């Protein structure tokens, strides 16, 4: 008998709170009251045989202290019965008393007024997401100091670490980047960040940030930089290099980078798996012979495809069926990620090997890691490239 279900009534009242209707009403200075929740109309046939259940539900409903409105019904057999037809709440105080959330409402009013006095441009944000006011109620005083900093410093050109504000450290701003961007974007009339790119917040608000680094070795002593061969540079510095090399080898593994044999007019770059994407804007590589060597597995070919998207002339080495046949006895297995793709940027021979690995032709989850290949073989073959 689905009548006078107090749980359903409370759920509807809770949804009103969760939507922030009472807070939006306060912001707009409008009135959403009375709130009326209609109860299901009872027919005489519904009561017959369930009268005791009906009386129990009525008793529970009355004990809830919900403000009920009644109507008299004239039934043929049961005669006149006065039954509740709706819950009617006339004002916000009555609503808060019923929901036992007066403290939350008072807190909202307090902080909204504080915020609105300083930043009236946030009104539209709070109309869409009023719960932000309460969710960050304990943080607004600190937020105010951060907001003022960015309002007064459109081009700080410093690291977050260098922002000096009372009771606010680097990690605090890092922790609240997302909400701070939403707030600042509304105040400064900027687009809200939707990208997951590293340091997007820093880039947007003209802060310094730690640039990705590139580690590489110069393989010809004639090209050493002030006598140095093993270098690590920020990507901007790396992109500005003018190394007079002819060949560039990119390898997936760090140890392979460090042990790579000396090759005339060449350098080797530590690609570090999918982090090889950091090289996509390195224009001077377009004029070099580029070779990529990754593990022979699903990831290795996906990374090869990725970097070929940046440099279409790149060639793979030690990633062919001959290598597999020669060294499959030292291959291993691994926990494969679900990254199989159908449109990889591979050439014919690479596609054949990729499909074999993908279909477990050489064994389930086959992987031939580059550091397992014998060093004397590597050195001999690289000198032929």
pLDDT 10s digits, 296-316: 999 999 999 999 999 999 999
Q: What pTM did the predictor assign? A: 0.67
Which residues, 6+ apart, have CB-to-CB distance to 84 below 8 Å?
4, 39, 58, 61, 68, 69, 70
According to the model, what pLDDT value does residue 200 have? 92
33 to each of 16, 21, 25, 357, 359, how far by Cα in Å?
12, 10, 10, 66, 65
Q: What are 271's two structure tokens?
A: 């690609």
> What does the alpha-carbon distance between residue 142 and residue 137 come to, in Å, rounded to a whole number?
10
Q: How confident is the model at residue 4 (pLDDT cuts 50, 70, 90)?
A: confident
- Asked if 114 contacts 140 with a C-beta cutoff of 8 angstroms, the reply is yes
Is the pLDDT score of 1 beyond 60? no
Q: What are 218's two structure tokens?
A: 């110069």
> What does the alpha-carbon distance between residue 225 and residue 241 come to, in Å, rounded to a whole number?
11
Q: What value does the mean pLDDT of the chain take?
A: 92
> What does the alpha-carbon distance between residue 69 and residue 83 come to, in Å, rounded to a whole number?
8
> What does the alpha-carbon distance between residue 171 and residue 137 come to, in Å, rounded to a whole number?
19
CATH code of the domain made up of 213-382: 3.40.1360.10
> What does the alpha-carbon distance between residue 224 and residue 243 come to, in Å, rounded to a whole number?
9
Q: What are 226's two structure tokens?
A: 């002030």
Average pLDDT over residues 214-230: 95
Share above pLDDT 90 across residues of the chain, in percent, rounded to a whole number: 79
> What does the alpha-carbon distance between residue 25 and residue 8 come to, in Å, rounded to a whole number?
24
Q: Which helix (H) or strand (E) holds 125?
A: helix 123-128
> What number of other Cβ atoms are within 10 A of residue 146's Cβ?
19
Q: Which residue has the tokens 């140890």?
A: 255
For residues 310, 313, 316 and 317, what is the CA-based torsion angle, rounded to 10 degrees? -140
According to the model, what pLDDT value does residue 181 have? 96
Structure confidence by residue, pLDDT tens digits, 128-144:
999 999 999 999 999 99
Is the pLDDT score of 341 beyond 70? no
Q: What are the φ/ψ torsions at residue 86 (nearest 5 degrees)?
A: -165, 160
CA-based radius of gyration for the chain: 34
Provide the greatest CA pair distance for the chain. 109
Is the pLDDT score of 338 beyond 70? no
Q: What are 58's two structure tokens?
A: 């009525």
Q: Which residue, 354, 366, 367, is CA-closest to 305?
A: 354
According to the model, what pLDDT value does residue 42 have? 79
Q: How confident is the model at residue 324 (pLDDT cuts 50, 70, 90)?
A: very high
Is the pLDDT score of 100 beyond 80? yes
> What does the alpha-carbon distance between residue 193 and residue 196 come to, in Å, rounded to a whole number?
8
According to the model, what pLDDT value does residue 134 have? 96
Structure confidence by residue, pLDDT tens digits, 45-90:
777 667 777 778 888 888 888 999 999 888 877 778 888 999 999 9
According to the model, what pLDDT value does residue 221 have? 95
Average pLDDT over residues 271-298: 95
Q: What are 339's two structure tokens?
A: 């990254």
Q: Which residue, 102, 97, 71, is CA-closest to 86?
A: 71
Q: Which helix (H) or strand (E) holds 131?
A: helix 131-135
According to the model, what pLDDT value does residue 340 have? 60
> What number of other Cβ atoms are within 10 A of residue 141's Cβ?
12
3-class SS at 50?
coil
Q: Which residue has the tokens 């019965």?
A: 81
Edge-to-edge strand list for the sheet holding 68-75: 35-38, 79-89, 68-75
């Amino acid at each position: 008998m689905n009548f006078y279900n107090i749980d359903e009534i409370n759920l509807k009242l809770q949804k009103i709170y969760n939507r922030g209707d009472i807070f939006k009403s306060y912001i707009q200075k409008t009135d959403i009251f009375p709130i009326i929740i209609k109860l299901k109309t009872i027919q005489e046939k519904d009561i017959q045989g369930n009268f005791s259940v009906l009386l129990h539900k009525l008793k529970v409903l009355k004990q809830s202290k919900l403000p009920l409105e009644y109507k008299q019904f004239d039934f043929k057999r049961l005669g006149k019965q006065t039954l509740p037809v709706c819950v009617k709440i006339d004002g916000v105080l009555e609503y808060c008393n019923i929901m036992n959330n007066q403290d939350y409402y008072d807190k909202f009013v307090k902080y909204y007024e504080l915020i609105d006095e300083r930043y009236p441009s946030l009104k539209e944000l709070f109309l869409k997401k009023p719960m932000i006011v309460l969710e960050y109620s304990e943080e607004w005083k600190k937020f105010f100091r951060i907001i003022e900093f960015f309002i007064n410093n459109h081009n700080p050109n410093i690291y977050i670490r260098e922002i000096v504000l009372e009771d606010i450290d680097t990690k605090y701003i890092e922790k609240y980047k997302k909400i701070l961007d939403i707030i600042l974007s509304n105040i400064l009339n900027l687009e809200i960040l939707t990208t997951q790119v590293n340091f997007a917040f820093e880039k947007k608000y003209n802060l310094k940030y730690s640039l990705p680094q590139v580690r590489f070795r110069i393989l010809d002593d004639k090209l050493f930089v002030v006598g140095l061969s093993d270098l690590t540079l920020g990507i901007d510095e790396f992109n500005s290099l003018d190394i007079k090399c002819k060949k560039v080898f990119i390898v997936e593994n760090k140890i392979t980078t460090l042990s790579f044999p000396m090759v005339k007019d060449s350098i080797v770059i530590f690609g570090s798996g999918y982090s090889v994407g950091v090289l996509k804007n390195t224009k001077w590589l377009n004029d070099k012979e580029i070779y990529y060597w990754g593990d022979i597995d699903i990831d290795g070919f996906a990374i090869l495809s990725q970097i070929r998207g940046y440099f279409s002339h790149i060639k793979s080495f030690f990633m062919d069926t001959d290598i597999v046949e020669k060294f499959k006895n030292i291959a291993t297995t691994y926990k494969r990620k679900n990254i199989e793709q159908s449109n990889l940027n591979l050439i014919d021979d690479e596609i054949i090997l990729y499909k074999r690995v993908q279909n477990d032709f050489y064994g389930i989850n086959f992987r031939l890691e580059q550091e397992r290949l014998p060093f004397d073989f590597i050195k001999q073959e690289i000198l032929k490239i």
